[in-house]
Chains A and B, each alone.
Chain A
Amino acid sequence: MTKDECKKVVVDIIADIAPDEDLSNLKPDVRLRDQLQLDSMDFLDIVMELRKRHGIEVPEADYIQLASLDSCAEYLTPKFNALAAKR
């Protein structure tokens, strides 16, 4: 998986969690919280949807890694690839 594909996975999840947000102009290097109205309940949902849909585990200590799309891609892409290698 490429980092861009990984970002798309995250954006798809946010689109389902927060259908009332406009995701067309998200800046990858800016914190999601600063561009969208996402609260802690929504971030918990991103983590849980990653687990449900893709089997990716994000421990609570690593939630901070999901701050922006860029940091999501940095953190999650290796996890996706490690998982794919195992299969």
Chain B
Amino acid sequence: MNTRSHYDVAIIGAGMSGLAAGIRLAHFGKKVCIFERHNAVGGLNSFYSIAGRRFDVGLHAMTNFVKPGVKGTPLGKLLRQLRIDRDEFALCEQRQSRIAFGRHGETSLRFTNDFAVLEAEVAARFPRQIDGFRGLTSAVREYPDVALDTGYVSAREVVRRHIGDPLLEDMLFCPVMYYGSATEHDMDFGQFVIMFKALFLEGFARPYEGVRVILRVLLDKYRAAGGERRMKTGVKHIVARDGRAAELILDSNEHITADHVLSSIGAPETARLIQSGHHAAPAVMPGRLSFVETITILDRQPAALGWGSDTIVFFNDSPRFDYARPAEEVDPRSGVICIPNNFDFGLDRQLPEGIFRCTCLANYDRWAQLPEDVYRVDKQRWYAAIQASARRFLPPLAEADLLSRATVTTDMFTPRTITKYTGHLAGAIYGAAEKNRQGRTELVNLYLCGTDQGFLGIVGAMLSGISMANLHILQKG
């Protein structure tokens, strides 16, 4: 056997989960190589440049923020497992975020990284629901959310046992679903718990320079631990023999062997790579939920427009919050606004330009079938519709055309963009509806990590890589 093409572990995909798994494995002496088809690392949480300007994708905020000294939460576990000093991420906290419902955001709940703020807001707006809200919070705190073997429990049902007002129920589900639900309308209570903690009990932060800081730290650790990485080299096929992943065939047609294969590219995406010769791999349906995002670069700080307080705003204008694949290309009735300038970067530091991002639910199939010229026109049309919808939930501007006058440039990504650059089918950034907590596949030495394993958010993604590397490889010696 050519020893140069044999690894203890081959990892497919250099996103957050693949990199985190790679760090663990390389640190403990495994010969590891990460194969990444794209020319950049990060997967669903990456960045790109246009005309010298760098745009983050994925990351609005890093969830799961806790202050130094708070132990036993996902962020702390992640830092310990990857031997990262928390100063390396240099996290800056959010100012405040809001959940704004109604045609003009009439009902609004403010929250910060101090949970007491949300609790007080609920008590003020929904006085009859506050006891139920506290009961729900206790249920969340007590739930064994990191167990790898819990079954599906409807989060809507559990939440309704505590919360009797559908408006408050929807207001709590809106951020939780937007930041991590792969299922429409309802979600597993275990997933709800993970996200509720990540968003409300913990909180939002980001490095001044955005997601690239986190990726740089991960890459430095991986390299220092001796991990190898091959970019622009995807895995084309997994050759199955005797129930094992016997060989990987790369885009370059090279053949690679590995004792273990860890795939971070998604369950249906991984199943498609398997060539067994015996039977077709069982079908795993790609997720139905995808998103568009508009990015508007401003020539001034958002504070100069009166938008200096909110870091993230989760909005919805409809009687009920409808988290589902829209019939049209985009559903602008609800969405998420992110103003990255409104993290607290310190008194003497601000991002050089204003940034205004809006995310809405989108229909992959509708976008995928458009001819190129129509695609471009539709992007412009929906850009305007999304902005008009989102602006209703921010303080009104002094002059109607102020935003367009302040706009330097814009960009927009669609479900089609997501699939093109990340390989995730149907632009499903939260993956398939069904999660696979144990990460096992039909092949004994092939495991899943990342989105379809089911820990969400970027901290979740990294913990997924860590947990699967521990469970399937390191604990076995």
Interface residues of A in 1-48 (CB under 8 A from B): 16-20, 37, 39, 41-42, 44-45, 48
Q: Does A52 contact B (CB under 8 A)?
A: yes
| Total interface residues in chain B, CB < 8 Å | 18
Q: Does B76 contact A20, Cβ atoms closer than 8 Å? A: yes
CB distance from B144 to the nearest CB of A (A): 13
CB distance from B20 to the nearest CB of A (A): 13
Which B residues touch A52, using CB under 8 A?
27-29
Which A residues touch B29, using CB under 8 A?
52
Q: Does A17 contact B80, Cβ atoms closer than 8 Å? A: yes
Which B residues touch A16, using CB under 8 A?
83
Q: Does B72 contact A (CB under 8 A)?
A: yes
User: Once bound together, how far apart are the Cα atoms of A52 and B26, in whole Å?
Assistant: 11
Q: Does A19 contact B85, Cβ atoms closer than 8 Å? A: yes
Which A residues touch B28, using CB under 8 A?
48, 51-52
CB distance from A31 to the nearest CB of B (A): 17
Interface string of A41-78 (1 = CB under 8 A from B): 11011001001100000001000000000000000000
Q: Does B475 contact A (CB under 8 A)?
A: yes
Q: Which of A19, A20, A41, A51 meets B81, CB within 8 Å?
A: A41
CB distance from A41 to the nearest CB of B (A): 6
Q: Does B68 contact A (CB under 8 A)?
A: yes
Q: Which of A44, A48, A51 has the most CB of B within 10 A?
A: A48
CB distance from B469 to the nearest CB of A (A): 11
CB distance from B79 to the nearest CB of A (A): 8
Which residue in chain A gives the minimum CB-CB distance to B69?
Answer: A20
Q: Which of B72, B79, B83 meets A37, CB within 8 Å?
A: B72
Interface residues of B in 161-216 (CB under 8 A from A): none
User: Once bound together, how far apart are the Cα atoms of A51 and B29, in whole Å?
Assistant: 10
Q: Which of B68, B80, B474 has the most CB of A within 10 A?
A: B80
19 contacts between A and B (CB under 8 A): A16-B83, A17-B80, A19-B85, A20-B69, A20-B76, A20-B79, A20-B80, A37-B71, A41-B77, A41-B80, A41-B81, A41-B470, A42-B80, A44-B470, A44-B475, A45-B80, A45-B81, A51-B28, A52-B28
